[in-house]
Amino acid sequence: MSIVKNKVDAVIVGMGWTGAIMAKELTDAGLSVVCLERGPDRDTQPDFAYPRVVDELEGSVHRKYLQSLSKETVTIRHNMNDTAVPYRQMGSFKPGTGVGGAGSHWSGCHFRALPEDFKVRSNVEQRYGKKFIPAGMTIQDFPVTYEDLEPHFDHFEYVCGTSGKAGVLNGKKIDGGNPFEGSRSREFALPPNPNYLGAEMFYKAAREMGYHPYPIPASNASGPYVNPYGCQMGPCNFCGFCSDYGCLNYSKASPNACIMPVLRGRKGFELRTLAQVLKVNLTADKKKATGVTYLDAQGRETEQPADLVVLCAFSLFNVHLMLLSGIGVPYDPVSNTGTIGRNYSYQNLNRVSLFFDETVHANQFMGIGGGGTTIDDLNGNQNDSTKSGFIGGGLVWARQPGGGPVRGIATAPGVPNWGSGWKKGVKEAFRHSFYYEVQGSCMSYQDAYLSLDPTYKDAFGRPLLRMTFDWHDNEVKASQYLVEKASDMCKVLGPKAIKGDAKKDGDHYNVTQYQSTHTCGGAIMGSDPKTSALNRYLQSWDVSNVFAPGANAFPQNNGYNPTGMVGALTYWCAKAVREQYLKNPGPLVQA
Amino acid sequence: MSDDTQSPSRRNIIKSMVFIPIGAAATTGVVRALSPATAADANAPEGKPDAYTPAFFNQVEWKFLNAAVDRLIPYDEHGPGAIELGVLEFLDRHMQTPYATGDIWYMQGPFVKAAPEFGYQGKLGLRDIIRVGIKNVDGYCASQFGGKAFADLDRKQQEEILKGCEGGKLKLEDISAKLFFTNLLNEVRNGYFADPKHGGNKGMGAWKMIGYPGMRADYLDWVEVRDKPYPIGPVDLAGRRG
């Protein structure tokens, strides 16, 4: 009884970064494209306009720009013998919704992966031997290299107006940037943003420790800028409302500011918001997709036929749709077979707060999401796993996305949670403290995966996605090692007090505290259809007219924020569709 | 009609003001509207807390909150307390929003017990957590203190009760004391620090205390200043300057 729409060349599920990139690229190629976004339409004006957008109660308590868990959420358990329970309140990670998706409420940290991050397994085997990888760790190489993606990293940075300083330019090391990075073909789109106090002090501490500090590549424009699509950006004014909020100032890169202006009104492009995709429709042999079924804004079941289906939902929900639709074989962690849900990974985030006296004006209310200072001295190949005891790596950084009192004020050790002592504590801390974070990689494991929950349903009657995940020894060791290094970097600054949160032996994944929205894997790319859901072009091995770009494609997660890599992979995917797939639809890699 | 100004709620507020250490107010001068006399002053600044009549909470709950909120964020030498900044009004108004019914939480069953790392697994929305919690704490107090409600205990006893809730030692009939306490404290802090448009933080008093410029949201010219405090007072969403 469902409504059937006219067939289009391509239907895109989700209008965040990946959806916007694919819509731009596919309409450039002359395709008719319909994009279905579950949330509302959003644009800088009126949705992110000052002053309404900076209301902390609406943004960070009512979570106005995030997904409502009442409609869709996940269930979570620590191991496969437990019963999973729903993620009822937003905590550890924050998927977005609406046009722009998580790309409108992100902070703007815009890294490229390191060349060695693409070949994690072979790199570890080569450096330390095959036996060094513990049983149950299922890390894999990406089926692409840094060199494959370099032009796409570059292009995405220029779309975003990324501000930073190159450390390696056309093979030559240059001062001021990250000396350990993969070679860049040109400088950043914009120079680095100015340093707030914490970032400046981080520089000082890092140099004293013999590290190589550099500005975090920030998709928060450091000056006026026009991107290759003609979209205008203005300089970031450090408003302090990046994370959780849309940008009021056309400064933070987002699909809304950087791509949507050229898509809106474009012939061949149609955006339907409040359109909740329920599943991808497949032919009886499950080898081809025929389109998708969704609920329109009035809740009517609607079918959108299409030749090509591009899954551009948040990483977790790309996997959810694949499982619900019967694309590929669900992963079985016992036999370690099947691919959909395999290799779920996360990010190993830890914080160390520094408290100073009233002469140190850290002013945490000023903020820039992606700005700040970091080091790669403990990341990638700089981490000697035989000494540190863990595989992977991580960053230590000073980053100040902006803090307001409703979002919480970290207080020095010993300060009570209420009463006069608390008031004194918040008063002393608010303008005179800042923090470092340790952002570690997260390896993938046989017992960390995504599947469908047998019990709980979403608002549309579908089984919820079930996440089975806990910290493993490798990540706990990494946390302890990196937090210790970060604490050393704090001590040289002589703060009044330090408060850190390294994971303790036996600590379990705690979903109640915000850590990171960097949920990765579950539908990973690889060179073997037995151990990956997608081929090197982000194309489903099983259903060749389905592509699924996103962080779901990461076989494991590196120390960086994923967005730079997600954007680059999406442009890489789009290029393959345009230059190869459209000429000869079918598998781009023979299984 | 002038009796309106003597509504029970107003009397409760005024009564609660009695708990405020007036002597401390006189020595610091940080806060206005501190003494009962000031609170009742018809010429008090706009947004004075006694103008509010609760629509969500009943009288028993209101009495509880008057006392508990004052214990959680009291008036003292560091700055204004939650009562005079209108946090009660915030609470009452916030409980009437869709958020307080749990509209962004996943509220489908089955509801099972799980380790604390998995977060809240209960059936109650925020406003019911607060409501059920108040009733249970009052019930507990009545059973322990010869029929007295929480608000009728002395300050020290009230603080002990709240500590018992916070640490989870206090066992309540229908709800986890810790869950109730955490949610109440969060809400009191939200009211204290959120924009005045939501009912609390009158006159941006909480922002002034910590030196938060509020909704100014434009600091590029101050990012690299190191040697002096940020000089401008707060501005709120309505454009008022503090």
Q: What is the DSSP string of A356-400?
A: --TT----TTSBEEEEEEEE-TTSGGGS-HHHH--SS-EEEEEEE
> Within its chain, how far is the Cα of B105 from the centroid?
22
Could you tell me if B214 and B203 are in contact, meaning their C-beta atoms sit under 8 angstroms apart? no
Radius of gyration of chain A, Cα coordinates, nearest whole angstrom: 23
The pLDDT, as a whole number, for residue A1 is: 66
Q: Checking DSSP bridges between strand A301-311 and strand A546-547, what pairing results, if any? A: parallel
Nearest-Cα residue of chain B relative to residue A88: B106
Q: What's the mean per-residue pLDDT of chain A?
A: 97
Rounded Cα–Cα distance for residues A140 and A144 (Å): 12
Kindly determine whether residue A56 and residue B211, on different chains, have CB atoms separated by under 8 Å: no
Q: Is the pLDDT of residue A148 over 50?
A: yes
- The per-residue DSSP string of A104-171 comes to HHS--B-PPPPGGGGGHHHHHHHHH-GGGSPTTB-----SS-HHHHHHHHHHHHHHHT-B---SEETT
Q: Which residues in chain B have Cβ-Cβ distances shorter than 8 Å to A406?
A: 189-190, 193-194
Q: Which of A92, A365, A453, A471 to mutate to test the interface with B (most CBs of B within 10 A)?
A: A365
* Cis preceding-peptide flag for A46 (omega within 30 of 0): yes
Q: Which of B107, B117, B180 to mutate to test the interface with A (most CBs of A within 10 A)?
A: B117
Confidence class for position A311, pLDDT limits 50, 70, 90? very high
Residue B12's identity, in one-letter code, is N
Chain B residue numbers touching A431 (CB-CB < 8 A):
210-211, 229-230
B147 touches A: beta carbon within 8 Å: no
The beta-carbon neighbor of A196 closest among B209, B223, B229 is: B223
Q: How far is A591 from chain B (nearest CA, A)?
A: 40
Q: Phi-psi category of A576—alpha, beta or left, where left has phi over 0 and alpha has psi -120 to 50?
A: alpha
Contact A88, A541 (CB under 8 A): no
Kindly state the DSSP code that residue A530 receives in the 8-state scheme: T
Residues of A in contact with B116 (CB under 8 A): 510, 512
- For residue B212, the one-letter residue type is Y
Q: What is the pLDDT of residue A11?
A: 98
Ranges of residues in chain B with a pLDDT under 70 are 1-50
> Counting beta carbons within 10 angstroms of the beta carbon of residue A19, is it exposed (0 to 12), middle (13 to 18) or buried (19 or more)?
buried
Chain B residues within an 8 Å CB radius of A51: 215, 217, 237, 239
Q: Is B60 exposed, middle or buried (0-12, 13-18, 19+ CB in 10 A)?
A: middle
A372, closest residue in chain B (CA to CA): B223
Sign of the alpha-carbon dihedral angle for B115, B116, B119, B121? positive
Q: Residue A405 is nearest to which of B166, B206, B215, comparing CB atoms?
A: B206
* List of chain A residues whose C-beta atoms are within 8 Å of the C-beta of residue B230: 361, 363, 365, 431
How many angstroms away from the CA of B76 is the closest CA of chain A? Answer: 7
Please tell me the predicted confidence (pLDDT) of residue B16.
43
- Could you give the angle at the alpha carbon of B95 between the alpha carbons of B89 and B99, nearest 5°? 130
Give the Cα separation of A319 and A338 in Å (integer).
13
Alpha helical stretches, state H, A209-278 = 255-258, 260-263
DSSP state of A476: H
Angstrom distance (rounded) from CA B11 to CA A115 = 70
Residue B185 has its nearest CB partner, among A61, A418, A510, at: A418
B21 at interface of A, judged by CB pairs closer than 8 A = no
pLDDT tens track for B76-100? 999 999 999 999 999 999 999 999 9
**Predicted pLDDT at A151:** 98
Q: Could you give the CA distance from residue A283 to residue A276 in angstroms, rounded to a whole number?
A: 21
Nearest beta carbon to residue A417 from set B76, B185, B230: B185
Contacts with B222 from chain A: Cβ below 8 Å: 238, 363, 366
- Dihedral of CA B75/A423/B203/B99: which sign? negative
Chain A CB contacts of B229 under 8 Å are 361, 431
Per-residue confidence band for A2, with pLDDT thresholds at 50, 70 and 90 = confident
From chain B, the residues in CB contact with A89 under 8 A are: 105-106, 119-120
- The proportion of chain A whose per-residue pLDDT surpasses 70, expressed as a percent, equals 100
Query: Which of B20 and A184 is assigned the larger pLDDT?
Result: A184
pLDDT for B4: 38
**A417:B166 CB<8 A:** yes
Give the closest of B99, B185, B212 to A62, CB-based. B99
* Sheet containing strand A214-215, strands side by side: A214-215, A368-375, A394-400, A433-440, A348-355, A497-500
pLDDT over 90 at A52, yes or no: yes
Q: Is the pLDDT of residue A34 over 90?
A: yes
Distance, in angstroms, between A450 CA and closest chain B CA?
17
| Complete DSSP assignment for chain B | -GGGGG-HHHHHHHHHHTTS-HHHHHHH---SS-SHHHHT-TTSPTT-GGG---SSS-HHHHHHHHHHHHHHS--BTTB--TTTTTHHHHHHHHTTSGGGGTTTS---S------GGG----S--HHHHHHHHHHHHHHHHHHHTTT--GGGS-HHHHHHHHHHHHTT-SB-SSSBHHHHHHHHHHHHHHHHHS-GGGS-SGGGHHHHHHT--BTT---GGGTT--SS------B-TT--B-
Q: What is the DSSP letter of A240?
A: S
CA distance A572 to chain B (A): 36
Enter the tokens of residue A407.
Answer: 């979002």
Percent of chain A whose predicted confidence (pLDDT) is above 90 = 99
C-beta separation of A157 from A190 below 8 A? no
**Count of pairs with CB atoms under 8 A, one residue in A, one in B:** 176
Specify whether the CB–CB gap between A339 and A329 falls below 8 A.
Answer: yes
Instruction: Tell me if residue A508 is catalytic.
Output: no
Q: Any alpha helices (H) in A508-562, and if so which ranges?
A: none
Q: Which of B79, B117, B185 sits opposite A423 (nearest CB)?
A: B79
Are A197 and B226 within 8 A, CB to CB? Answer: yes
Residue B72, chain A, CB below 8 Å: the answer is yes
Of the residues B99, B103, B106, the best mutation for testing chain A's interface (the one with the most A CB atoms within 10 Å of its CB) is B106
Inform me whether the C-beta atom of residue B231 falls under 8 Å from chain A C-beta atoms: no
Categorise residue B79: left if φ over 0, alpha if ψ from -120 to 50, beta otherwise.
Answer: left
Q: Is A507 within 8 Å of A476 (Cβ atoms)?
A: yes
Q: Write the DSSP string, A288-304.
A: SEEEEEEE-TT--EEEE
What is the per-residue pLDDT for B215?
Answer: 96
**Which of A57, A91, A424 is nearest residue B78 as measured by Cβ atoms?**
A424
Q: Which residues contact A287 (CB under 8 A, 6 or more apart)?
A: A542, A543, A544
Determine, for residues B104 and A87 on separate chains, whether the beta-carbon distance falls below 8 Å: no
User: What is the pLDDT at residue B12?
Assistant: 44
How far A495 CA sits from the closest chain B CA (Å)?
16
Predicted local confidence at residue A501, as pLDDT: 84
pLDDT given at position B51: 75
- Residue A54: what are its φ and ψ, rounded to 5°? -90, 20
Instruction: Give dist(CA A72, CA A464) in Å, integer.
Output: 7
Residues of A in contact with B188 (CB under 8 A): 418
**What pLDDT is recorded for position A395?**
98
Q: Quote the minimal CA–CA distance from B24 to chain A in Å.
A: 12
Nearest to A533 by CA among A64, A84, A140: A140
Q: Are B78 and B211 spatial neighbours (Cβ–Cβ below 8 Å)?
A: no
Confidence class of residue A591 from pLDDT cuts 50, 70 and 90?
confident
- Tokens linked to A434: 């800042």
Please state, as a whole number, how many other Cβ atoms lie within 10 Å of the Cβ of residue B239: 8
